[in-house]
Chains A and B, each alone.
Chain A
Amino acid sequence: MIDVQHVTKRYGPLTAVDDLSFRVERGEILGFLGPNGAGKTTTMRILTGYLPATEGRVQVAGFDVFEQPIEAKRRTGYLPETPPLYPEMTVDEYLQFVARIKGVPASDRQAQIGSAMERTSIADMGDRYCGRLSKGYRQRVGLAQAILHNPDVLILDEPTAGLDPRQIIETRKLITDLAGDHTVILSTHILPEVSQTCQRVVIINRGRVVAVDTPDNLTARLQGSQTLYLQVDTQGADPLPALEGVAGVLSVTVADKRDGVGGYQVESGSGDDIRRELSRTVVTNGWGLLELRPQQMSLEDIFLQLTTEDAPADTLAADAGTGDDADEANTEDRTDG
């Protein structure tokens, strides 16, 4: 549905997006994750045809956004970082205007506007002026605008930025509901966002793809080592020597300790499951095993690791299947003209 091939965007000397490639299939929700300044907005502007890429090509619903912009734009709904509202229009007038310029036929207009307002829960806001809406409602009107013409592809730039927690949950639910018949790309610099709504994540940093995967795989993949959390009641004895003696254990660190009950982080090689050995050791020493569970690396940790360390990042990007080798030959470089 969306095919991005070797897209590069330079603003003068600054390379905002560097050789970016990825694909999104129909009905999928792709999360675009990166810190501020990573190039998320720039990429989305290229996908929507607002900006031309310096190099590379983008196809949306089978149309090249640069060669056939009108066709591609007809099939794209876009919510920019700031919802593009005209303050002097009422919500009704605004959506009427958008429906016209998006080419919704006159006979369907009222129905489409109604359904978009319904889905974004602004059905009773029609008479309000866009300029007087709260941040949450501005965002919803922006979303209604994006889905109004029933586009194949929805591109949402930080759709939950600046919303309160309840609105965030509503917006996420709306996006998940939309994914059925739309292909969605959303950007965010907040991690829980992607793990909760997206099936696949593209992590970018300084314009480059750092990783592409499902949120779950990403977590698993990144764990070169496994960490177990272990809580034991040793009645004052020091369990460290015994624990470190267990086969496969790389290191043991104290996580918390009180009243003779200690919590430990036990790190082991990624392939080994040392839980049995570990529990046996605890029991044979006569201690009480209170808790033993694998510790998940949060996306937060992964993200930090990916964007600060270069080495694991490169390996990941390489086997994440970003570039499409077959397409390499017919990718034309585009330069300013």
Chain B
Amino acid sequence: MGNILTLAQKELRAYFVSPIAYVLLVFFALLFGYFYVSSINFMVQLSMGQFGMGGPQIININEFMIRPLFGNTAVILLFMLPMLTMRSFAEEKRSGTIELLLTSPLTDFQIILGKFLGAMALYTLMLSLTLVHIGVLFWYGEPEWAPVLSGYLGLLLMGGSFISIGLAISSMTKNQIVAGVSTFAVLLLFWIINWMGDASGTMTQSVLAYLSILEHLDDFSKGVIDTTHVTYYVSFITLGLFLTAKSMDMARWNG
């Protein structure tokens, strides 16, 4: 456990001494802020009855603001999290520092988990920036807090899935750009996979919809913690970490 924390700490430090952590934090805050403001505008117009529904009315903040906002956050993350994981293994392989890790008394499991937790820590920090925006909504309005909490849980699980896939792909190459682009492409595929299902039969469609990585988020921000969705994300994370371990092992045998 001590080793895992040492490694996680080293990862987190590496993010903050290079510009990457700041770039991610700033752009995440900007993009989230943009979606936040535009959804507030939308809500204000809605509540003023500008859509011909006859006079001002009470709007459900959770339904009309927070839920779409979390959906948009998922899309931002799809673009940004690959940048967070692309360096992890690729750069160590390129610079040769992986030789230090792999000849130290550490298990692969510790190395992988250390990198995963380091990335998760930075991601959690990114998410925590949005607490300010959401807090403002609590200040001025009266949203329910349960869907907000479960929504954050959903985002953490989904981001964890993105990160674990990113680690797996980063461990397959020495080139961090290749790792970043491939991770993005794979995540994109998992996002749009259910669109392909639209034209096909219901059975295929439901399978593809199940696989789609963003599909599982919505229920969380409705305040429902469904075991199906939790299982999906946890399996996804486990699979990603398992693939990373496999890829490290293969790299070892192939030299």
Q: How far is the CB of B122 from chain A (nearest CB, A)?
A: 15
Q: Chain B's nearest CB lies how many Å from the CB of A185?
A: 14
**B3: which A residues are within 8 A, CB to CB?**
100-101
How distant is the Cα of A76 from the Cα of B99 in the complex, in angstroms?
13
Contact of B255 among A11, A73, A86 (CB under 8 A): A11
User: What residues on B are CB-neighbors of A45 within 8 Å?
Assistant: 99
Write out, one digit per residue, whether chain A residues 194-206 have a CB within 8 A of any chain B CB (1) or not (0): 0000000000000
Chain A residues 1-21 with CB under 8 Å of chain B are 9, 11, 16
Q: How far is the CA of A336 from the CA of B252 in the complex (A)?
A: 11
Query: Which single residue of chain B is at the shortest CB-CB distance from A70?
Result: B105
Residue B38 at the chain A interface, CB threshold 8 Å: no
Instruction: Give the bracket for the number of chain B residues in contact with chain A.
Output: 20 to 34
CA distance A93 to B107 in the complex (A): 22
Q: Is A215 an interface residue (CB 8 A)?
A: no
CB of A62 closer than 8 Å to a CB of B:
no
Contacts of A189 in B (CB 8 A): none
Complex partner residue of B100 from A42, A84, A93, A103, CB under 8 angstroms: A84
- Residues in chain A near residue B98, CB distance under 8 A: 84
Q: Are A73 and B252 in contact (CB under 8 A)?
A: no
A101 and B104 contact, Cβ closer than 8 Å, known pairs A86-B14, A88-B14: yes
Contact B6 A97 (CB under 8 A): yes
Q: Are A101 and B102 in contact (CB under 8 A)?
A: no
Q: Tell me the number of A-to-B contacts counted with CB atoms below 8 Å.
A: 74
Binary CB contact string for chain B from 1 to 34 against chain A (1 if under 8 A, 0 otherwise): 0110011001001100110000000000000000
Residues of chain B lying within 8 A (CB to CB) of residue A74: 105
Question: Are B103 and A52 in contact, with the CB atoms below 8 A?
Answer: no
Q: State how many angstroms separate the Cβ of A39 from the closest Cβ of chain B.
A: 12
Closest Cβ of chain B to A228, distance in Å, is 49
Q: Give the contacting residue for B97; candidates A48, A71, A76, A85; CB below 8 A.
A: A85
Interfacial residues of chain A within 76-113, with CB under 8 A of chain B in the complex: 76, 78, 80-82, 84-89, 93, 97-98, 100-103
- Measured CB to CB, the nearest residue on chain A to B14 is A88
Select which of A70, A84, A93 is within 8 A of B99 by beta carbon: A84
Least CB distance from B3 to A in Å reads 6
Contact with A along B215-255 (1 / 0, CB 8 A): 00000000000000000000000000000000000001111
Partner of A49, one of B97, B103, B253: B103
Report the bound CA distance from A115 to B141 in whole Å: 62
Report B63-98 CB contacts with A as 1/0, cut-off 8 Å.
000000000000000000000000000000001111
A145 at the interface (CB under 8 A from B): yes
Residue of B nearest to A75 (CB): B105
Which residues does chain A contribute within 8 Å of B95, judged by CB atoms? 82, 84, 87
Pair B105/A48 contact, Cβ less than 8 Å:
no
Known pairs A86-B10, A101-B104 / 9 extra A-B pairs, C-beta < 8 Å: A49-B102, A50-B99, A76-B103, A82-B95, A85-B97, A87-B95, A97-B6, A98-B100, A102-B104
A residues in contact (CB < 8 Å) with B: 9, 11, 16, 42, 45, 48-52, 69-71, 73-74, 76, 78, 80-82, 84-89, 93, 97-98, 100-103, 145, 336
Q: List 21 A-B contacts (CB under 8 A).
A: A9-B255, A16-B255, A45-B99, A49-B102, A69-B105, A70-B105, A73-B103, A73-B104, A80-B99, A80-B103, A86-B14, A88-B13, A88-B17, A88-B18, A93-B13, A98-B104, A100-B3, A101-B6, A102-B104, A102-B105, A336-B253
